[in-house]
Amino acid sequence: MARLEILDPTVEARKQPLTYVARPDSLQGKRIGLVENTKFNSDRLLLKIGEILKQDYGAAETRMWRKHNAGVPAHKEILDEARGTVDVVVAGIGD
Amino acid sequence: MPPMTTELASKRFAVDDLTQAMDLCFEKGWTDGLPVVPPTEARVQAMLDAVALAPDKEIAFITNRQVGVTAEKVAINAVMAGCKPEYMPVVVAAVEGIADPRWGYHGPATSTGGAGVLMIINGPIGRRLDFNSGDNLFGPGWRANATVGRALRLVMRNVIGTLPGQLDRGTLGHPGKYTYVIAENEAESPWIPLHVERGLSKEDSAVTVMAAEGPHQFYNQLSSTAKGVLTTLCDDMRISGNTTSQPNYVVVIAGEHMQVIAADKWTKADIRTFVFEHTQNSIAHLKRTERMAGAIVADDEAARRPIVAAPEDILVVAAGGRAGAFSAYIPGWASRRTSEAVTKLINDRRA
């Protein structure tokens, strides 16, 4: 027979639905948003990706935003502007 | 809001004895590598009673992790860390500190930069609970310092999911990630306590949390002037952290240096101003030493880059042993955009 009980110190993360919008069939003529995370050279990397998307995939234009820092999601102004001005967004994180 | 409950909701595990309980905590991955005190209901309840919080009271919500940190989970981890119940208000305030948006949990907790959470205790609670502010300041031997910092790290691990190799990606980390708690030596300090400089009253108790590298000790066994001691400090400190944009530094002034600096009537504000002005690097030096990109241009020899944005970002703390001409500085993690030191009032019910 058990002589003592101990309590679980851990928790499960709160469940939240995550849904993805449908990916476009083609980038032809699409406006590309680039979300830069402030890490060194991330702007140059994204601009290069943007150039490839224009030259090789027919994207119409690119526009870049800069997050407050790498540790937070894109802030409201970025999301609001992106909704009205671009069709696709490229973002990422890395060192 | 739903009414708070008094029942402990955590899953229970039955074991035969204390040894089996400690082994189970290892097997489940709930420890920092050291044995823990088994969190029984009676011990956890005593923690909650010490702060008069219902178990389901949410102390913090970590947005990036979508995790609510309840009083019950903080209490369980505080028991495991070896805290006395009377330490619980300090642990709660520290959890509030790292959940503050200004501290910015996701960055410092996760980064390859490997920050620990430096906790600086101020006010009456530091003396009442015997937090060490003197000899062997960053070393072992004091239960309050050892277990309060450990409790916070266990909360980060077990509740917020900050697991080494997963969402704690520190390249090197440092020993302060086990515990990293000091108190200011207000009894012997000639200066205004840190928490008072940061807006609280002398009678308040507070904890300041800062995402931090390990302590860097410096020597000056020669000088008998404030300027002399601090010149040595600045020469050591100038090349530290990432040299260009730390959010904060802590400068810990220990006994002998404290006496020397105080004899010259320098205040903490004087120390901050001197250190800010004398820790700036030339752009040319940063480029020559491959800390900044680009070729050196004519203005780079004269152009200066401070290590923090303003003198106020340097937190001066009086602490450490009376004997020995040593003090220390501690670089904060990353940049002002990402994390800054946060001071939280400790709800010290006995004060």
The 10s digit of each residue's pLDDT in B188-232 is 999 999 999 999 999 999 999 999 999 999 999 999 999 999 999
Left, alpha or beta for B281 (phi > 0: left; psi -120 to 50: alpha)? beta
d(C-alpha B351, C-alpha A5), whole Å:
34
Q: How many angstroms away from the CA of A17 is the closest CA of chain B?
A: 12
- Does B83 score more than 90 pLDDT? yes
C-beta atoms of B337 and A38 within 8 A: yes
Half-sphere exposure of B295 (CA within 13 A, CB side): 2
Kindly tell me if the per-residue pLDDT of B311 is higher than 60.
Answer: yes
Separation of CA B202 from chain center: 20
**Average pLDDT across chain B, whole number:** 95
Interface size, chain A vs chain B, as Cβ–Cβ contacts under 8 Å? 98
Burial track A42-67 (b if 16+ CB lie within 10 A, e otherwise) = beebbeeebeebbeeeebeebeebeb
Question: Partners of B58 in the beta sheet?
Answer: B70
Min Cα distance B80 → chain A (Å) is: 9
Pick from A1, A4, A5, A6 the residue to mutate for testing the B interface (most B CBs within 10 Å): A6
Degrees, nearest 5: CA angle B121-B126-B128: 165
Which ipTM score applies to this complex? 0.92
Of B12, B108, B339, the CB nearest to A7: B12
- Rounded distance between C-alpha atoms, residue B13 and residue A6, angstroms: 5
Q: How far apart are CA B271 and CA B264, in angstroms?
A: 11
Asked if the C-beta of A16 comes within 8 angstroms of chain B's C-beta atoms, the answer is yes
B351 — pLDDT class (breaks 50, 70, 90): very low
Contacts of B338 in chain A (CB under 8 A): 69-71
What is the per-residue pLDDT for A39?
Answer: 84
Find the residue in A nearest to B111 (Cα): A71
State which residue of chain A sits closest to B20, comparing Cα positions: A4
Residue B3 has a pLDDT of 52
**B107 contacts A2? CB cut-off 8 A:** no
Contact A17/B at CB under 8 A:
no
Whether residues A71 and B104 touch (CB distance < 8 A) is answered with yes
Contact B12 A11 (CB under 8 A): no
What Rg value do the Cα atoms of chain B yield, rounded? Answer: 21
Tell me if chain B has a CB within 8 Å of the CB of A2: yes
Q: Which residues of B touch A71 (CB under 8 A)?
A: 64, 104, 106-108, 110-111, 338-339
> SS3 for B323?
coil
In 3D, which of A27, A26, A35 has the Cα closest to residue A81?
A: A35
Residue in A with minimal Cα distance to B64? A72
The verdict on a CB contact (< 8 Å) between A6 and B21 is yes
**What are residue A34's DSSP bridge partners?**
A64, A90
Lowest mean pLDDT among A13-27, A49-63, B134-148: A13-27
pTM: 0.92
Cβ pair B319, B133 in contact under 8 A? yes
Looking at the predicted structure, is the pLDDT value of residue B114 above 60? Answer: yes
**Do the chains contact at A71 and B64, CB–CB below 8 Å?**
yes
| pLDDT score of A19 | 86
Question: Dihedrals φ, ψ of B345, to 5°?
Answer: -65, 135
Residue of B nearest to A38 (CA): B337
Residue B284: exposed, middle, or buried by beta-carbon count in 10 A (0-12, 13-18, 19+)?
middle
The domains of chain B are located at 14-112+139-173
pLDDT score at B5: 65
Element (H or E) spanning A47, and its range?
helix A42-57
If you average pLDDT over residues A37-66, what whole number do you get?
A: 93
Spell out the residues 6+ positions from residue A34 whose beta carbon is closer than 8 angstroms to its own: A46, A47, A49, A50, A62, A63, A64, A65, A89, A90, A91
State chain A's mean pLDDT as an integer. Answer: 89
CA distance B326 to B185: 15
Q: Give the pLDDT confidence score for residue B298 in this predicted structure.
A: 92
pLDDT tens track for B18-77: 999 999 999 999 999 999 999 999 999 999 999 999 999 999 999 888 899 999 999 999
Chain B CB contacts of A93 below 8 Å = none
Report the residue of chain B nearest A40, measured CA to CA: B293
| Contact partners, residue B170, CB within 8 Å, separation at least 6 | B111, B112, B113, B114, B115, B164, B177
Our CA-based measurement puts residue A82 at a distance from the nearest CA of chain B, in whole angstroms, of 21
A72 touches chain B (CB under 8 A): yes
Asked whether the beta carbons of residue B161 and residue A13 sit closer than 8 angstroms, the reply is yes
